Amino acid sequence: MKFENAVYPNKEQLEGFTEDNHGGPISMVNLLKFKEKAEYSDGRETDLTGAEAYAIYGQGVSKLLVELGGGIVFSGTVDRLALGEVEELWDQVAIAQYPNRKAMLDMMMSPAYAEIAPHRDAGLAGQLNIETTDVWLGT
């Protein structure tokens, strides 16, 4: 299995936000890899690690998610690989829930998101972002 960390979606992935939208809730599984030291595109000096810069983004995006009717379902540090093989582990896993794809796209296009996005960009070396839909396994 080949995988490639990225910081931004490609054209096809962006188009997926508006195509075949079932309109229901989605959960985004984020596998995060951080830069050792945060690097801001505006050249500002910082002593922040990539994880610390991303944490600033995480606090802001958590508030935006709640305003949309979603939220952070889970966030945790990766300790080890318990099954399978990869060349390098991700640093953190986070699961964010959105009411629907449109809500996620609206958030990503909002001025409030634009304010916090530089911290995401400064901290991330790359990520995998996996869209999932809820499956009821109840009794």
If one counts the domains in the chain, the total is 1
Residue 54 lies in a domain: yes
Residue 124 counted as domain residue? yes
The verdict on residue 56 lying in a domain is: yes
The answer to whether 73 and 96 have CB atoms below 8 angstroms apart is yes
Closest of 1, 42, 16 to residue 129, by C-alpha? 16
Task: Note the pLDDT of residue 17.
Answer: 59
Is the pLDDT score of 1 beyond 60?
A: no
Is residue 17 included in any domain, yes or no? no
**What's this model's pTM, rounded to 2 decimal places?**
0.85
90 SS3 class = coil
Average pLDDT value for residue range 69-80 = 96
Q: Residue range 121-126: average pLDDT?
A: 95
% of the chain residues with pLDDT over 90 = 71
Is 4 inside a domain boundary?
no
CATH code (residue 28): 3.30.70.100
Domain range for residue 30? 22-132
The residue ranges of DSSP E strands in 50-120, in sequence order, are 71-77, 92-98
